[in-house]
Amino acid sequence: MAFVLAVASTVIFASRAGRRARLMHAANEPIREWMSVPFIAHAHHLPASVLFQAIGVRPRQPYDRRSIRHIARDLNRPVPELMAQLESAIQAATPPPGGHPR
């Protein structure tokens, strides 16, 4: 019984890993509040300046390491609001499949 369970879990997790790996390049990377703006920009292949501009922030250094949560605290703005602005900016700057950016 233990042997069958072990084989079954191996098959299930290996196939899940395979499926996720195949979708890796197609899937959109989620935005999390611990991420810095350059980190998000890199994940979406955009210049960080586009995203900084979208949230109205001037970067402190060439690679501004502050997280979204940190920036939100500095600006005294809610984190979800900043994240929503970043998501809209990414959508606007990302070309739809086979087209130009909106």
Partner 1 sequence: MNDRLLGAVSLYGAPALFGIVAIAAVGVPLPITLLLIVAGSMISQGAMNPWWAIGAAAAGSSLGDQAGYVIGRWGGPAAAARLGALFGKRVNLKAMETKVRTWGGSGIFVTRWLLSPLGPWINLASGTARYPWPRFLLWDLMGEVTGAAVFISLGRFFSDRAMSLYGVLGDLTWAVAGLLAAVLFGYLLVARLRRARVR
**Least Cβ distance, residue 75 to partner 1 (angstroms):** 16
- Taking the C-alpha atoms of 59, 64, 68 and 69 in order, what is their torsion angle to the nearest 10 degrees? -110
Candidates 57, 59, 69, 77; binder of partner 1 (CB under 8 A) is 69
Residue 38 contacts partner 1 per CB under 8 A = yes
Between CA 13 and CA 87 the distance in angstroms is: 31
Q: Is 10 exposed, middle or buried (0-12, 13-18, 19+ CB in 10 A)?
A: exposed
Give yes or no for residue 6 binding partner 1 (CB under 8 A): yes
Q: Does 70 bind partner 1 (CB under 8 A)?
A: yes
| Number of neighbours of residue 83 by Cβ within 10 angstroms | 20
35 binds partner 1 (CB under 8 A): yes
What does the binding site for partner 1 look like in residue numbers (CB under 8 A)? 2-3, 6-10, 13-14, 16-17, 20-21, 23-25, 27, 29-30, 32-36, 38-39, 42-45, 63, 65-67, 69-70
